Amino acid sequence: MNLNIKGKKFLILGASSGFGRHVAQRVHDEGGLPVLVARSEDALKDFKEKNASSSVVCADLFSTEGLSKVLDVIEATDFYGVLINAGGPPAGSFPMDDMAQWDQGYDVVLRWKIELLRSLVPRLESSGSGRIVFIESVSVRQPIDGLILSNVFRMAVVGLMKSMVNEMDQKDVLMNILAPGYHRTNRLENLIAKQSEEQGRSETEIADNMAANTPLKKLGDPASFAELAVWLLSPQNQYVTGQIIPVDGGLAKGV
């Protein structure tokens, strides 16, 4: 399928590994022009060397300085599509140690997205069209034990996205949330290693257990996830907006 993204610019956040990197690669391979944002300068340099028509911005989205660097890029560039993505919040259960951790959950999952969208959405509206995809988590469909900050604040991103879709004047600005289950990315490998240490079980055992809890009995492939993300970011998507789309092998059991 021709995605019709040749020559179009895409801002890909959290792009040095995992889902973000796969999305950036797919955009590049389809002839789009990805601008990658991440904290790791070396990984960004590596991508740029291998993919000549990409550009990179080294910035920490959770810091005032890093976010303002990205806002400057948004003000200076006509993007067609934007992938809103970064690392997740720390693990923990109610009530957490103190209120500072709740503040951190808000900062990491929600606050920077609001600030970024306040600049981005009016620009997309005035350009006449655009696509936004958020990467959140299956926790927006089914809370995950031990990840209360994700369970709470990602739901707020759902409220934000649904409200923006309803209130927007320009109707060719489409936005959707992808809700991944367990996929083999750096983040999952780190989580598996941590659980293996905590529980005294092998990493293979932990990974097998995650897969066994999923109806498809396997972990997801981030490259396949990226195929859907890039389709949603492309003009091929004409009529899918305001949706929360699980990509979880059937992990979320509700209807």
Binding mask 21-60 for ligand NAD (x = CB under 6 A): ----------------xxxx-------------------x
Out of 35, 175, 182, 246, point to the residue binding ligand NAD (CB under 6 A): 182
Instruction: Round to whole Å and give the CA distance between 112 and 114.
Output: 5
Can you list the positions of beta strands (E) in the chain?
9-13, 33-38, 55-58, 81-84, 130-135, 173-180, 244-247
Instruction: List binders of ligand NAD among 136-155 (CB under 6 A).
Output: 137
Smallest gap, in angstroms, from Cβ of residue 5 to ligand NAD? 21
Out of 11, 149, 173, 188, point to the residue binding ligand NAD (CB under 6 A): 188
Does position 19 bind ligand NAD by CB under 6 A? Answer: yes
Give yes or no for a contact between 218 and 211, defined as CB atoms under 8 angstroms apart: yes
- Tokens read off for 243: 């949706």
Does position 168 bind ligand NAD by CB under 6 A? Answer: no
* Three-point CA angle 79, 75, 156, nearest 5°: 75
Give yes or no for a contact between 249 and 218, defined as CB atoms under 8 angstroms apart: yes
Q: Could you list the residues that contact ligand NAD (CB under 6 A)?
A: 14-20, 37-40, 60-62, 85-88, 135, 137, 180, 182-183, 185-188
